[in-house]
Amino acid sequence: MRVLITGGAGFIGSNLAHALQEKYKSAEIYVLDNFSSGHFKNLIDFRGEVITCDITDPECLRYLRDNFRFDVVFHQAAITDTTVEDQFLMMRTNADAFRELLNLAKRWDAKVVYASSAGVYGKTAPPMREDKGLVPANVYGFSKLAMDRIALNFMKKHPGMRIVGLRYFNVYGPREEFKGKTASMVYQLAVKMIKGEKPRLFKWGEQKRDFVYVKDVLKANLLALEKDVSGIFNVGTGRARSFNEIVKILNKELGTSYEPEYFDCPYDFYQEHTEADLTRAREQLGYEPEFSLEEGIRDYLPYILSLHRS
């Protein structure tokens, strides 16, 4: 099996590269990244090859077309900073590049598993189902919805091709530290508290998110590879938790007693409550999350402490 992971030096992509090389020992795995937000340190233990290019560059696509053939493409490359407002850049990078990649995958007869986002739902009331409430509140969410529509149209035109879109909710876990300000709130709050600083939250910390641990996201990706299925699926835990709860869990695990410092939210597109309906993922992928927020944080904290404990 020959595997391509775009955005493979990033958070989820690098975790996926490591998971695949451990599960499929004989697979040939290639990571493609332009290293704009990914980091080489995420790939220190990766044994496959790295292709350094940008999927928005036609030369990159021609190089892939002329020199490679893959059985499966995991497409993680994207602008993941939800605060970017450059609509042209967001749409070119996330949506248009995906269309070109699907055309390449068709030539290769490759299965495609790609990263969509809960951002497609905007401020829709939860629980969020794949077939309704698609009202993104910013261009990032719109670009992911555009990707989903491109994928659905491609599935109709090429019914023999397998394409799986995974709508990630709020993912956290190891190898996200290079994302900077776009790293998860679990990571950012833990770092502050480890450093002896008060956690800071938008008023009043009761906004809720479906926080999903990266190991469950990897599980969903591997199921998408192994199942003979096409479609778009939510990937979360199916349970929303508040930011105040994160602070409470971190206090318990770290043996601290910090009270949050609250400040005004500057974003008008901010989602107050996300929660995945997992019915379709359970029935068609066989996906069942294994980590609660408490269990995920407990598993993750030793990694964060190894980075930041003095």
Residue 283: CA atoms inside 13 Å, Cβ hemisphere, count? 6
Bridging pattern class, strands 2-6 and 28-33: parallel
261, 198 Cβ separation under 8 angstroms = yes
Bridging pattern class, strands 231-235 and 163-168: parallel
Radius of gyration of the chain (CA): 19
Residue labelled with tokens 């499966």: 72
Bridging pattern class, strands 49-52 and 111-117: unpaired
Residues known to be catalytic: 140, 179
For residue 74, give both structure tokens: 């995991």
Task: For residue 249, give every residue at least 6 positions away whose Cβ sits within 8 Å of its Cβ, in sequence order, or none.
Answer: 293, 294, 297
39, 9 Cβ separation under 8 angstroms = yes
Element (H, E) at 5: strand 2-6
3-state DSSP assignment of residue 68: coil
